[in-house]
Structure 1
Amino acid sequence: MAPPISAPTKASAPPSSSFLQFFISLDTSFSLHLHTFFQFIPRFLLKSLEICGDGRLFFPVAISLLFLLTPSLWSPHPFFLSLLVGSFLDLVLVGLIKVLIRRPRPVYNKSDMSIAFAADHWSFPSGHSSRVFFVSQFLFLSIENVREMLQEEGLRVWVSGFGAGDPNNTELFLKVIFGWAIATSVSRVLLGRHFVADVAAGACLGLIEGWVTHRFIHQQLSGLIGGIK
């Protein structure tokens, strides 16, 4: 008599897959908790941070500073040119990672997003977080350049509200910028745009981009433009 055929058992998930699912579940739950708990914060404040970190505002400002502080089109200001190139690098990297990971945005994300960003259904990593931390990191690593530029007439008037017109207060100015980066990143979770992991990954990506831009792109452009002059 043939032995009875046992029913096939379901294969257990690999440990790495199980841990990933646990991490995603924890991240989703924690993000929802933060979003719900901090509903008392006025939404217009969070939206203001969203607009300040929006690429549609940042890129025109960066391009304007590049042309306003450039003596000629053949010798652009290397600092702002590096900032612009690094920003485009950030845009490309975030787009590629989002397409590869394809993590949907939180289901409780409201529909008051701009048309451009509403078309972006992917959540990981946060482009706002990577952008603001890239700017903060690049400015921090370029503190000597920042100190020199803050003494220029045009910028001294613009940042006088932060006390940064005084070269001794450059550090205070950079602390304000880092505070803005942190607040903007946190607002992404509180608005329901992203999960905590999206924001953390975006911030880390921005810090790396800032270092790469300062260490390689800025040095290369400074040498190239200096050679042209």
Structure 2
Amino acid sequence: MRSIEPIAKLDLAFSLFCLQHRFRLPLSRLSKAVSHTGDGHLYIVLGLLAWWLGGEQGQLFLLAGLLAFAMELPIYWLAKNLFKRRRPQELSELVTSFITPSDRYSLPSGHTAAAFLMASLISYCFPPLGLFALVWAGCIGASRILLGVHFLTDVVLGSILGLACAQFAIALLV
């Protein structure tokens, strides 16, 4: 465990840096709005719209999304319960959490995983929207740190999980 201690210290220092500045309250309001776009409701709407309006690419988007989430969610749940990493506000009284997380543990960030999964599918199926989708996914990841519910490594590993599941689903279907 000592080999990851420097990473844990860096994570906590980065969280404190992100959460101890004079703009934290207005930034938390913006972060809540951005984070809310990653709660899952939008993914259902996007999948159905793509299926209805997107022709063959829309069908691929919906099928790949269903397959990717069927892989991502069990891995996410397993990782959370295997690592049992405490959230930033549990490790330091100096970290303020601006929302109540939906589950107990922080690694990996599920919001970030889902956002990068969707961004990867959008980039593949609808390339003109790819850059926007990836920036949006990055903003969701950043919002989770700015809300005090995730560490940087939670977000990085969540993004890797989402990208990997999406790419694997695409590879299986194409």
TM-score by length of 1: 0.64
Match of 2:70 in 1: 88
Residue identity in the other structure for 1:110: S
Q: Deviations over 1:117-142 (max 9, x none)?
A: 1xx11000000111111111222233
Is contact 2:108-2:158 (8 Å) kept? yes
Compare the two structures and name the one with the higher helix fraction. 2
Do residues 42 (structure 1) and 27 (structure 2) align?
yes
Is contact 1:62-1:83 (8 Å) kept? no
Alpha-carbon distance, 1:78 to partner: 3.6
Residue identity in the other structure for 1:122: Y
Residue identity in the other structure for 2:119: S
Could you tell me which runs of 5 or more consecutive residues in structure 1 were left unpaired when the two chains were aligned. Answer: 1-16, 147-169, 220-229
Where 2:65 maps in the other structure, the secondary structure is: helix
Is contact 1:141-1:211 (8 Å) kept? no
Do residues 113 (structure 1) and 100 (structure 2) align?
yes
Could you tell me which runs of 5 or more consecutive residues in structure 2 were left unpaired when the two chains were aligned. Answer: 90-94
Do residues 61 (structure 1) and 34 (structure 2) align?
no
Alpha-carbon distance, 1:197 to partner: 0.7
Alpha-carbon distance, 1:89 to partner: 1.9
TM-score by length of 2: 0.82
- Kindly tell me: are residues 174 and 111 of structure 1, through their superposed partners in 2, closer, same or farther at Cα, counting changes over 3 Å? closer
Query: For 1:67-82, what aligned pairs fall within 5 Å after superposition?
Result: 68=52, 77-82=59-64
Is contact 1:65-1:80 (8 Å) kept? no
Q: Give the number of the structure whose alpha-carbon radius of gyration is greater.
A: 1
Superposed CA RMSD in Å reads 2.5
| Partner Cα distance (1:49, 1:19) in 2 | 34
Match of 1:182 in 2: 138
Q: Deviations over 1:3-50 (max 9, x none)?
A: xxxxxxxxxxxxxx3221222122112222112235154322111111
Identity %: 28
Match of 2:118 in 1: 135
Match of 2:92 in 1: none
